[in-house]
């Protein structure tokens, strides 16, 4: 039987790998990938907590399902905006998004 | 399953009806994109207005739950939803001239439908009794909002604002979700009421709560999480900026109060988030005020002003999650009243900014030099709204600030109230900078005299009435107090 701690550690590592990627990556698409990593970490957390700690209910599973669907919708909108930016700048590097500042 | 539960949710259902009606109308009758079909008519405004009145009139005092407690409704929810409706209505009025431009004609239907979907998300968020419902509402409110921010497809600033907004919104919702998963791990439930009973202070719960608050902080744009605000507000179309700064922010602040009241007030954890909010509020009000002074673009200026106002709004959370000693829900009442007054004043200021931008294309504070000579009435209305935002006595802004300070003071946060008071004076300085530009500064080329369109006039009349009357009409606050006592 796998202990809950192992899964929580894996998901925490995934989460903060995502945070690290979000802060250091320069391509906006890579930033988007990092955010997906963070969202997947939360999905893993919900499913594992439900299965191993509170196996009586299904709240965590349902949360995971909804969260996957919603994060797909979010990335669709985000990629649409990236495409719009690419059409105007011919570039999607985060450093170039600097017209609005201060 | 008992389908009559849907009847209880008549606010959500009627809004959904309006959305579907507009959607179908757009689909069937707007083939002629040259003339903009039915959407140059005031149909969306009228539909939303009728729905607002229909939902506000009966004012059911009932407190009920539907779907096993996923959906919880209190009388105060009706008030907040009506307030948000009025804000959306004014946004539609502001957007009309912008939407009548040739490049936007074909997209008019989308604008109304997408805006109303964000409103629907806020409705669900406000009445949620479970973290899943809350999260779906939050995302329904924030994903279409991004589409609205980058609505001007051929203007680069709009796209950049949208990119910054969606990346940070995604980041914050991931943080929030991770926080919720940790809360689930410690309490074993996602229902607010059960979390409220089951929470015992532990390190894991504290981590979860901190991440949850960080996620909400992004939505309300409180200071350590405010970095997207100014860029997004500047790049977004002006009507959308007005919507973001009032409706989106106000609903998120109220929801935060409700969630904290339901889930994290009983048990020993209240002390911890109060300390967090103490510093967040001080930082929001002070830093935003200092940054606002050095702005030269009016929309950026209003963004920093909105961050500072969010700090005052959240002041209502301090001590607002429990009934006060005299049995009233002082914090909640003061917050909703503040939201109402802030809506009138901020929407009024944005109405002036918007109509000036639509007619002259100018947004700089220096461009407003000499506005009084050419457009005296607009300059006067702008002054009223700015005075109300700053909190000068005869206007409603003074009373709303007074009540929110009183609520925090009675809850024992005397230092916090003092710092907020000092900041009110700083804010007066920068609001007066605009007034000075309009009345005193000379300009070689002031903005030419123009007649504003009928829609903007209605919006300005509504906002001015709010700024002048909400403060004088004492029954408004009394009525809110009564409702608040039934809601907490």
Select the residue of A31, A32, A88 nearest B159 (Cβ to Cβ): A88
Closest approach of chain A CAs to the CA of B242, in angstroms?
18
Mean pLDDT within B154-174: 92
Mutate to test the interface with B, among A77, A87, A94, A95 (most CBs of B within 10 A): A77
Averaged pLDDT score across all residues of chain A? 90
What separation in angstroms does the CA of B95 have from each of B347, B385, B419?
12, 19, 37
Residue B37 binned pLDDT confidence (cut-offs 50, 70, 90): low
Give the model confidence (pLDDT) of B379-426 as tens digits: 999 999 999 999 888 888 899 999 999 999 988 899 999 999 999 999
Chain A, chain B: beta-carbon pairs less than 8 Å apart: 117
CB contact under 8 A, A97 and B163: yes
Give the model confidence (pLDDT) of A39-69 as tens digits: 999 999 999 999 998 888 888 999 999 999 9
pLDDT above 80 for B488: no
Among B215, B146, B140, smallest CA distance to B183 is for B215
Q: What percent of chain A clears pLDDT 70, i.e. is strictly above it?
A: 99
List the domain boundaries for chain B: 268-488
Instruction: Using CB atoms within 10 Å of the CB of residue B245, give its burial: 0 to 12 exposed, 13 to 18 middle, 19+ buried.
Output: buried
Mean pLDDT within B58-84: 82
Q: Rounded to 5 degrees, what are φ and ψ at A93? A: -70, 140
The ipTM is 0.95
CB contact under 8 A, B189 and A59: yes
Residue B59 binned pLDDT confidence (cut-offs 50, 70, 90): low
CB contact under 8 A, B181 and A46: yes
HSE-up of residue A102 (Cα within 13 Å, Cβ side) = 4
Do the Cβ atoms of B476 and B483 come closer than 8 Å? no
Look at residue B364 and give its three-state secondary structure: strand
pLDDT above 70 for B31: no
Give the model confidence (pLDDT) of B432-473 as tens digits: 999 998 998 888 788 888 888 888 999 999 999 999 998 888
Closest approach of chain A CAs to the CA of B57, in angstroms?
35
pLDDT at B106: 79
Mean pLDDT within B367-381: 89
List the domain boundaries for chain A: 4-90
pLDDT at A17: 95
Mean pLDDT within B98-111: 84
Among B117, B176, B183, B72, smallest CA distance to A67 is for B176
pLDDT at B35: 54
Q: A35 contacts in B (CB within 8 Å)?
A: 167, 170-171, 174
- A4-90 CATH pick, 1.10.287.3510, 3.20.20.70, 3.30.360.10, 3.90.1280.20: 1.10.287.3510
Q: What is the 3-state secondary structure (H, E, C) of A12-42?
A: HHHHHHHHHHHHHCCEHHHHHHHHHHHHHHH
Mutate to test the interface with B, among A81, A84, A85, A97 (most CBs of B within 10 A): A81
């Amino acid at each position: 039987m796998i202990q809950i701690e192992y899964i929580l550690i894996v998901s925490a590592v995934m989460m903060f790998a995502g945070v690290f990627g979000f802060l250091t990556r320069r391509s906006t698409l890579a930033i988007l990938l990092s955010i997906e990593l963070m969202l997947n970490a939360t999905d893993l957390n919900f499913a594992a907590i439900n299965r191993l700690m509170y196996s009586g209910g299904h709240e965590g599973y349902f949360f995971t399902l909804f969260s996957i669907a919603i994060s797909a919708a979010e990335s669709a909108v985000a990629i649409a905006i990236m495409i719009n930016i690419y059409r105007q700048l011919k570039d999607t590097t985060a450093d170039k998004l600097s017209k609005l500042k201060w | 399953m008992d389908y009559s539960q849907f009847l209880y949710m008549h606010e959500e259902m009627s809004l959904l009806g309006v959305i579907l009606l507009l959607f179908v109308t757009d689909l069937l009758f707007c083939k002629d994109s040259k003339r903009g079909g039915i959407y140059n008519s005031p149909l969306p405004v009228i539909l939303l207005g009728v729905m607002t009145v229909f939902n506000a009139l009966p004012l059911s005092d009932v407190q009920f739950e539907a779907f096993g407690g996923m959906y919880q409704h209190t009388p105060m929810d009706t008030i907040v939803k009506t307030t948000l409706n009025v804000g959306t209505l004014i946004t539609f009025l502001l957007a009309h001239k912008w939407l009548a431009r040739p490049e936007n004609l074909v997209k008019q239907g989308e604008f109304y439908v997408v805006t109303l979907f964000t409103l629907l998300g806020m409705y669900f968020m406000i009445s949620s009794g479970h973290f899943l419902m809350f999260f779906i509402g939050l995302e329904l409110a924030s994903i279409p909002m991004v589409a609205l921010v980058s609505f001007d497809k051929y203007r680069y600033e709009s796209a950049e604002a949208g990119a910054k907004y969606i990346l940070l919104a995604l980041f914050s919702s991931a943080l929030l979700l991770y926080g919720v998963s940790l809360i689930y791990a410690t309490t074993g439930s996602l229902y607010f009421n059960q979390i409220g009973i089951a929470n015992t202070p532990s390190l894991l719960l504290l981590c979860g709560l901190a991440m949850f608050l960080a996620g909400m902080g992004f939505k309300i744009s409180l200071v350590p999480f405010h970095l997207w605000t100014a860029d997004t507000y500047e790049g977004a179309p002006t009507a959308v900026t007005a919507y973001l700064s009032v409706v989106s922010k106000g609903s998120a602040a109220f929801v935060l109060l409700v969630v904290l009241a339901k889930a994290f007030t009983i048990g020993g954890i209240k002390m911890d988030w109060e300390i967090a909010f103490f510093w967040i509020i001080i930082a929001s009000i002070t830093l935003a005020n200092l940054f606002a002074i050095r702005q030269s673009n009016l929309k950026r200026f209003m963004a920093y002003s909105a961050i500072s106002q969010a700090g005052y709004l959240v002041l209502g959370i301090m001590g607002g999650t429990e009934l006060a000693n005299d049995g009233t829900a002082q914090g909640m009442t003061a917050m909703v009243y503040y939201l109402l007054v802030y809506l009138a004043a901020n929407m009024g200021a944005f109405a002036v900014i918007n109509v000036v931008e639509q007619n002259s294309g100018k947004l700089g504070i220096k461009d407003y030099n000499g506005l009084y000579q050419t457009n005296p009435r607009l300059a006067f209305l702008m002054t009223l709204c700015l005075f109300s935002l700053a909190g000068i006595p005869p206007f409603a802004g003074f009373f709303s600030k007074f009540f929110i300070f009183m609520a925090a003071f009675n809850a024992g946060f005397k230092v916090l109230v003092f710092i907020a008071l000092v900041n009110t004076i700083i804010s007066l300085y920068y609001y007066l900078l605009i007034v000075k530009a309009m009345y005193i500064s000379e300009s070689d080329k002031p903005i030419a005299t123009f007649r504003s369109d009928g829609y903007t006039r209605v919006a300005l009349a509504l906002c001015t009435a709010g700024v002048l009357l909400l403060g004088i009409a004492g029954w408004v606050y009394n009525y809110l107090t009564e409702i608040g006592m039934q809601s907490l």
